[in-house]
Amino acid sequence: MMGMKALLVPALVSLLLAGCAAKPSAEDARKFIESAEADLLKLANEASQAQWVQSNFITTDTEAIAARANERFIQAGVKYAKEAARFDGVNAPEDVLRKLKLLKVALTLPAPSDPKKSAEAARLAASLEAAYGKGKYCPGGDQSKCLNIDEITRIMAACRDPKRLLEVWEGWHAVGAPMKEDYKKLIELSNEGARELAFPDTGALWRSKYDMPPDDFAKEVDRLWEQVRPLYEQLHAYARWKLREAYGPQVVPEKGPVPAHLFGNIWAQQWDNLYPILAPKDADPGYDLTSILKARKTDAAAMVRYGEGFFTSLGFAPLPKTFWERSLLTRPRDREVVCHASAWDVDNVDDLRIKMCIEINEDDFSTIHHELGHNFYQRAYNRQPYLFRDSANDGFHEAIGDTVALSITPEYLVKLGLLAKAPDPAKDIGLLLRRALDKVAFLPFGLLIDQWRWKVFRGEITPEQYNKAWWDLRLKYQGMIPPSARPETAFDPGAKYHVPANVPYTRYFLAHILQFQFHKGLSEAAGCKEPLHRCSIYGNEAAGSRLRAALEMGMSRPWPEALEKLAGARQMDGSAIRSYFAPLEEWLKKQNEGKPVGW
């Protein structure tokens, strides 16, 4: 057996030599990036193939195969992110430096390098996501009457009994309490990992993805909210007095915040299920797209052809033959599948697919256009190096799909031959209100989740304050309060999937801002003279050229450059959403005359 001194001497020599070793060169950085990109592309494709099979053939075995492939890809991402830090300060070409940064900020859970702590972080992350997935509300503890989140979602959408809504709301929110201690520990470990990557905390790492200093990005988000807040306040005031009419003064106050269980959604994040209560008189738009599609005996493939035709009218190449061979368009009769609509780029080149159990109705007509927006974006940037094959920032991908859906106007339907002529715009208030209950109502919720997490990550909100701070922010931004007193042990953030699953959320807020800015910029390029909500870029080469130029950039350049190509400006701008909903905002102001606005 060697003595301790004999063991220590070689170790000390190694440390001294390491300290004297030359710093990595620009060539070292380039070789590292080339190797990392090749490995990550291979692992990403393997994970995509496994996930496709798992989603389309749900068995214990396919789930295990997909989990292993995904784990290999994630582990490689963590490894390369940590290794990229070695090249800090290297004077390398701009594209190499950008790729090094993208590797580092790609992580959402930067586990510590200590193997035990890293394993603990992985265990906690898996445990929290599983706890949410298994979450149920069992009235009176009766296991035979348990409700999962899908069943609760349906109740919240359709029920108009405030007592029943309260019962279900409280039942679901109880799933968060057991997560609190694990969440606290995960925050500690994640922050430790972020500090190893030279970020002060995980929130700063998340905000560093946006090509500006983290604190500047936080200010940018606040600025955007202030631009759209007046429109939200008018919608909130209108919803408050209409809900008061429906439920009575004992349930809904005349002024101030509104109990959060009354908005048709367990998180009150979108209010479109309230449309029957809030709809104005004479809200009939003058046509029923679902009935038109069914009368024409439109099938699932024809629905997708309409969406493809939108993009080819703009100058994009048709979808590849393999898209039609490999996509899932209808629910199979012989097996269970994950039917949630999604767009896939399985090989990161041109193996594009969608997975969707298409119903012949207006909603799915719009969703198809949205999902194909992802596919055409994916193919547009497929000539970029692997690390640049993504949207300009994480809000862009969702925004592009939604931008395309905004062009599904009566005028577009006329060009497709689905309508004989566009109805009078005087009937558009109902259409605008329905869309605002989806898009505008979401804005403060899309903002506040990460406002809460950023404060948690930097220690401004302590575990003892988790729940109180959550409701303070929901009051500040949404004008909502919990429908009943919340116990100190509650952890209501855990009742929203993205919190226990550690999924950043600001991207959804940005997407809701950007889609209207994109739509406005492209409509102007198309020379549209109609009100913004009636503009469609279908068939316009100028708008198509502008859109392709932005999409082809992928993530190769800072996002303001892509924004400039799309919208003619380098700064995100919430005024476009105000322009789109301008007729509705004026209508809301008239409806709210003499009634309190704000809370």
Tokens of 207: 């905000």
Residues 6+ apart with CB under 8 A from 541: 314, 315
173 is catalytic: no
Of the residues 371, 490, 511, 585, only one is catalytic, namely 371
| Catalytic option among 137, 508, 538, 580 | 508
DSSP 384-438: S-GGG-S-SSTTHHHHHHHHHHHT--HHHHHHTTS-SSPPPGGGHHHHHHHHHHH
Distance CA 100, CA 86 (A): 10
Instruction: Let me know if 498 is a catalytic residue.
Output: yes
The yes-or-no answer on residue 340 being catalytic is: yes
* 374 belongs to the catalytic site: yes
CB atoms within 10 A of CB 63: 15
Contact 375, 354 (CB under 8 A): yes
Token reading at 308: 């493809």
| Catalytic, out of 398, 441, 469, 576 | 398
* Given the residues 370, 397, 512, 533, the one annotated as active site: 370
Of the candidates 11, 21, 325, 340, the residue annotated as catalytic is 340
Q: Which amino acid is at 398?
A: E
Helices (H), 440-558: 442-457, 466-478, 506-525, 541-552
Is 371 labeled as catalytic in the residue annotation?
A: yes
Q: Which of the following is catalytic: 67, 177, 283, 341?
A: 341
Catalytic pick among 46, 220, 498, 561: 498
| CB distance 512 to 439 below 8 Å | yes
Other beta carbons within 10 angstroms of residue 470's beta carbon come to 26
Query: What does the alpha-carbon distance between residue 237 and residue 257 come to, in Å, rounded to a whole number?
Result: 10
The CA distance from 128 to 254, in Å, is 39
Backbone angles phi, psi at 352, to 5 degrees: -85, 145
State the virtual CA torsion across 576, 577, 579, 580 in degrees, nearest 10: 120
Q: Which of 173, 261, 374, 512 is catalytic?
A: 374
Give the span between the Cα atoms of 181 and 173, in whole angstroms: 16
- Residue 236 known to be catalytic: no
Instruction: Please confirm, yes or no, whether 519 is among the known catalytic residues.
Output: no
What is the separation, in whole angstroms, between the first and last Cα of the chain? 75
Tokens found for residue 295: 């009368």
DSSP annotation string for 267-332: T-S--GGGHHHHPPTT---S--HHHHHHHTT--HHHHHHHHHHHHHTTTPPPPPHHHHHH-B-S--
Side chain identity at 104, as an amino acid letter? Answer: K
Catalytic site positions: 340-341, 370-371, 374, 398, 498, 508
